[in-house]
Chain A
């Protein structure tokens, strides 16, 4: 067991964990932040997406020991940011969610996209959102919500 100081949503959090523990489970079980979801454990579905130093990252395959001092932003904190808030609002306005389980990850991926491309094309959306599974299949509304958020931010 090791003790780590993590920067999560702008706050310093101290956790003691096995170095191999994925960041996902540190967030969920040690920090009790359950907005980040477990879907596959092999970075194939994107439900666990967080921002690590601004990069959309699958937290299920990042050992806590490799996080270092890179700031972590999760679904619980992304609304503090203008782009994050716009994406969350667009998701609500477009009535995107169904079961909703994947949507934390979808939103985190969408925010990362809009931070790098303010007016993403369909191809940009397919590329950036390409690793996030929505089993309900809400992809049409996800596309629309990203475009709505992009307009909002323009």
Chain B
């Protein structure tokens, strides 16, 4: 069964929403689905969702709310229930949240599949969960009104109680049974913003306590009767295949059940060990002696790729955007010209919970447990691998230990591996575990990129002409999504944040090349903005320095007139950071950056010094605008931590490199995310008050931090940093 057949004909996708989402992490998939199905013009709001699939009120008053998303740190397991509970007038202390299994009803109202990506959880389900809450409330009121033989209009609700005239009252728990027999209302009024009781209020996460006492079960913690564990020896070069396998020593280890070959997503072959336990399986894998055949496989080599990318960047690519006339660049003198080359490495996501999936295949059905960002896609891939229909595959959404895009693979390669293994081990639940080494060396990285920019500066110090070339792998080339996401030979996810930058540059051309080295790539938290924001915000800073201007004032001047939200966050950041920026300690410097992605505008200022030849980030002030702030506490936390995640790009060991086809890093000792000492010491987050529709907060914290830090470093060293990772200062 192909992906397209899963799209319900009532998909809420319109051409407009496609255009809006196409450059997001999830866009590619949707577009492909969209392509093959003429979609009815229908807004997401026009769809109806049965509340009983989302809310279960128990007789004791407990309210169980289904969350149609994976929870992997972003806090949606708390924030979506807040939205529903608010409209329902539920007593928050009675609310518990569950992660919904894969089902049509839980598909993203905009994307049309069940998924987390593109920072869309709140953006796409806010209205949906409000309506669900309001409908549930209306049914409870209707039940009370019927019981008391009065009209619904005579009732009011508060904290899980319906109140009627004459002191009558009934709890939601008491009304639950009769409310279930009420018809679901078509249209319900929603609250005014001034009536919100939960939305906009700092609300602690529902999943904290079990994550602090060891009782939370993540996918990797799953234990089923008779369960076995599989570990895979992947070819050390993508696409490799065993010439010969000596598995005698492996099979000799007590507890080893089976050793066999499976196909890999890179058209190679891997060797699986199934054993009673992980440690047994890993010991056995270590004892496999495999002679690999790499004939016909192109070995990636990052040193060669850097040279090739640099060469390509000096030539025009396919045009993403062009306006005005670049010929003014020809006459500009060196004094009024910037030429800059940037390099960005491959980045692994390395979520803390290593990748895993558990499947039991019973011949005519299968059961799956996985922390997946793409339930619909993964369910289909598993079904296809097992020769089943998706509805024969029960898919449980497991709590996931991070993801950052890594659990949203269009090819479902981990799930396909798990399904292939489960097929062979029919009737036995098998948990596939990727070790950290498999994860670091297994591909699906943020691609390497090179940028080359020439800027002609006008007499007023503002950029007059800007030629920009971006070189890097497409995330969707060679997939069914390419036809729609690649326009004029340009993958939008490679140029987003630069092609559509917020600055007024009269003569501007951005072109792109997409080479195709043999390395699987994937969206990494904030996707193209990871590199485009760095380039744009460091160059704008350089322009400001050249002009002798304050970097914030310069940005205000350079922003397009309609960039109101960006001005708003710049102003708020300026106001909140002015006191410390004007009183920096000896040896410290401030740097700033601003960027918009996924509809959320962010500006930040950083206080940086150099300690042990590394940037020490003493303080970060962030101002952001995401429309209505559903849970300000979660937003604060997302931004505090998200900027630390963004520091990954600056880590000295923050790169995956290849030599003769082999990844040169295999664990956290070689590819090192920020530790506490690398992360900002303090981060204050300021939210622009807003009543506009909410946008996402998962990805927007990431892009701004690394340019802000190197902009500060420039003030300390007078050097511009254009190659990441940031080696010794």
Binding site for B on A (CB under 8 A): 1, 18, 20-22, 25, 28-29, 32-42, 44-45, 47, 74-76, 79, 88, 91-93, 95-104, 107, 122, 125-126, 129-143
Contacts and interface: CB of A to CB of B under 8 A. Distances in A.
Contacts of A21: 279
Interface string B636-680: 011011111101000000000000000000011100011111011
Contacts of B681: 122, 140, 143
B221 A39 contact: no
14 contacts: A21-B279, A22-B279, A34-B220, A37-B220, A39-B354, A41-B437, A93-B204, A97-B212, A99-B351, A101-B351, A134-B676, A136-B645, A139-B680, A140-B679
B677 A130 contact: yes
Interface string B275-287: 0011110010000
A105 B638 CA distance: 20
A40 B279 contact: no
Contact of B204 (A92, A107, A135): A92
Nearest to B404: A135
A75 B437 CA distance: 25
B207 A100 contact: yes
Contacts of A139: 641, 644, 674, 676, 679-680
Nearest to B682: A140
Interface in B686-723: none
A42 B668 contact: yes
A134 B352 contact: yes
B353 interface: yes
Contacts of B212: 88, 91-92, 96-97, 100, 103, 107
Contacts of A39: 352-354, 436, 668
Contact of A140 (B280, B645, B680): B680
Q: Which of B74, B75, B676 has the most CB of A within 10 A?
A: B676
B205 interface: yes
A75 B221 CA distance: 14
Chain B's interface: helix, strand, loop or mixed, by majority?
Answer: loop
B142 to A, nearest CB: 37
Given A95-B204, A133-B352, A137-B645, 18 more contacts: A34-B221, A35-B214, A41-B436, A42-B668, A44-B667, A75-B214, A92-B204, A99-B400, A100-B216, A100-B399, A122-B681, A133-B668, A135-B404, A136-B402, A137-B679, A139-B674, A140-B640, A143-B681
Contacts of B489: none
Contact of A141 (B73, B278, B637, B677): B637
Nearest to B217: A34
A35 B668 contact: no
Contacts of B204: 92-93, 95
B214 A36 contact: yes
Given A34-B217, A75-B213, A137-B643, A91 B208 contact: yes
Contacts of A38: 220, 278, 354
Interface of B: 72-75, 204-205, 207-209, 211-218, 220-221, 223, 254, 277-280, 283, 350-354, 399-404, 435-437, 633-634, 637-638, 640-645, 647, 667-669, 673-677, 679-683
Contact of A45 (B209, B403, B668): B668
B75 A29 contact: no
A100 B223 CA distance: 19
B214 A33 contact: yes
Given A92-B204, A130-B675, A99 B401 contact: yes
A35 B641 contact: no
A37 B667 CA distance: 16
A139 B217 CA distance: 23
Contacts of B254: 1
B668 A126 contact: no
A11 to B, nearest CB: 15
A124 B214 CA distance: 25
Q: Which 8 A-B pairs have the closest CB atoms?
A: A35-B214, A101-B401, A137-B644, A100-B211, A99-B73, A98-B73, A75-B214, A34-B221
Contacts of B637: 95, 98, 138, 141
A75 B213 CA distance: 6
A135 B279 contact: no
Contacts of B676: 125-126, 129-130, 132, 134, 139, 142-143
A50 B683 CA distance: 29
A134 B217 CA distance: 18
Nearest to A109: B676
A140 B280 CA distance: 38
A107 B217 CA distance: 17
Given A95-B633, A141-B640, A35 B207 contact: no
A136 B641 contact: yes
Nearest to A34: B221
A96 B283 CA distance: 36
A81 to B, nearest CB: 13
Given A37-B353, A100-B401, A104-B214, A140 B641 contact: yes
Contacts of A36: 214
A142 B680 CA distance: 12
A42 B680 contact: no
A134 B644 CA distance: 9
B667 A126 contact: no
Contacts of A40: 436, 667-668
Contacts of A92: 204, 208-209, 212
B641 A41 contact: no
Contacts of B73: 98-100, 136
Nearest to A47: B352
B373 to A, nearest CB: 12
A21 B402 CA distance: 27
A32 B215 CA distance: 11
A135 B277 contact: no
